[in-house]
Amino acid sequence: MRFFLDTANVDEIRKANDMGVISGVTTNPSLIAKEGRDYAQTLKEITTIVDGPISGEVKATTEKAEDMIREGEEIYALDPQHMVVKIPMTAEGLKAIKALSEKGIPTNCTLIFTPAQALLAARAGATYVSPFLGRLDDISTVGMDLVATIREMFDNYGDIETQIIAASVRNPLHVVDCALSGADIATVPYKVLEQMLHHPLTDSGIEKFKQDYVKVFGE
């Protein structure tokens, strides 16, 4: 399973990229608005940091397929080597995914909450589908079951090449479960990536090594 970072904060992206563990980035209008920066400029800067797929989403106010296609082409044109167009799961969104895919533009169908939605997106030509785990957990539904079901369903058909991006990941346990459930990618906030680094025994072990070294060799 690969890791994408779910953020529009370029400082976090640089730090995660320097660790050597991420292979892409997912963003959305809310994340970029949170940073208070220009949308296109931010996406363009991210492509200079990470050499991998960068998901940029069409505006939340865009509802017609023709407008999504136009915006998608503009997003893709920022960097054809890296940009992926993020499209919401709607009937108009599926039309846009089909049209963009036929132009060779990679797409990421977002806001997936059922296996049926994932199958529709795959058949429309989506490069990625993004099932949202944490939001399902929030309404007392086991989000991880969705990933496992999509994986099993896609594996039944050799002609489905759509990759599964586990999204709305809230903690390290989610990450491990995503890997066990067969997600191709987990897109995680920087906070979760940091949590994955630490364990009390690791931290105390490092401190003990330091103390032992200082006793013998000094500072």
Q: Let me know: does 97 contact 125? Beta carbons within 8 Å.
A: yes
Question: Which of the following is catalytic: 86, 95, 98, 210?
Answer: 86
* Distance, CA of 55 to CA of 68 (rounded, Å): 14
Reply yes or no on whether 34 is catalytic.
no
* Distance, CA of 195 to CA of 210 (rounded, Å): 22
Q: Let me know: does 84 contact 53? Beta carbons within 8 Å.
A: yes
- CA dist list (Å): 205 to 103, 134, 149, 197, 212: 54, 33, 40, 14, 11
Q: Let me know: does 124 contact 105? Beta carbons within 8 Å.
A: no
Handedness of CA 73, 74, 77, 79 (dihedral sign): negative
Q: For the chain, what is the radius of gyration of the CA atoms? A: 19
Q: Report the SS3 class of residue 211.
A: helix
The full DSSP string for 36-82 is T--HHHHHHHHHHH-SS-EEEEPPTT--SHHHHHHHHHHHHHT-TTT
Tokens of 97: 């995914």
Catalytic residues: 86
